[in-house]
Amino acid sequence: MKKTVISEKIQGKPLVLHSDNGSPMKAATFQVLLEKLGIKNSYSRPRVSNDTPYSEAMFRTLKYRPEFPFSLLMKDL
């Protein structure tokens, strides 16, 4: 996560990381890292297996827009 934030120059931007409820994603050390990087976390609903495909489908739609990612970056200016 830290390498990605640095390489993509997105430190301080409003970011949300959506993941499943797995123990690696909920580990205290990972949570501390996210907090340091200013990233909010979002989890799938408990015992619901179809949350992640919806967020992935939304991202795919967004990713294939001609103005992506510039539309997101310009929105913050």
CA distances from residue 10 to 1, 3, 34, 37 in whole angstroms, order as listed: 11, 11, 13, 9
pLDDT in tens, 10-51: 877 788 887 877 788 888 898 898 888 888 888 777 766 666
pLDDT in tens, 4-19: 888 888 877 788 887 8
Domain containing residue 8: 2-75
Report the 10 Å Cβ neighbour count for 34.
Answer: 19
**In total, how many domains does the chain have?**
1
Please state the pTM of the whole predicted model.
0.51
Distance in angstroms (rounded) separating the CA atoms of residues 76 and 58: 20
